[in-house]
Amino acid sequence: ETIPFIESLLFGALISSIDPIAVLSVLGNMGMTDTDTIYVVIFGESLLNDGVAIVLFQTLVHFLDETLVIDADAILDGTMHFFVVAFGSLVVGIGSGFASTGYFYVMQGCQTPLVEVLLFFCWAFIPYYVCDGIGWAGNVAVVA
């Protein structure tokens, strides 16, 4: 029995994200730290790969409907969905970053350190849950 093409693409999107831990560990053993350019580039690239893999997976899930015919319209729809999710998540993340910066600027000195730390984590969760509720990629928003 053969695996359907769409399911093969879906599996490929699922496992395509790489884990940079081994590479970063080797770089650390070579004496490089998080201030070295190569370290930062590899770490940042892995974060971008995770976001792309999740958005690609979410896009391909739409093609699992057996009645859907893969033609030019379906490919265009999938491509549009990919870019809407990717850029929408990015906009939510950047907007949340600006909002949290403004909040902490205005509220500077008005809260105890414990409350500030708790609110910092809340502001980190907001873009994730907003994107998750919309059906977008929450990890892209958090990284943005």
pLDDT tens readout for residues 87-116: 999 999 999 999 999 999 999 888 888 999
Class of residue 5 by CB neighbours under 10 A (exposed 0-12, middle 13-18, buried 19+): exposed
Q: What's the chain's average pLDDT?
A: 87
pLDDT value at position 68? Answer: 67
Pick the most confident of 31-40, 106-115, 126-135.
126-135
pLDDT band per the 50, 70, 90 thresholds, residue 35: confident
Pick the most confident of 4-8, 111-115, 124-128.
124-128
DSSP string, 23-84: HHHHHHHTT--TTSHHHHHHHHHHHHHHHHHHHHHHHHHGGG-TT---SHHHHHHHHHHHHH
| pTM for the predicted model, two decimal places | 0.74
pLDDT at 129 over 90: yes
pLDDT band per the 50, 70, 90 thresholds, residue 69: confident
Token couple for 52: 């792309």
Higher local confidence (pLDDT), 90 or 71: 90
pLDDT value at position 26? Answer: 87
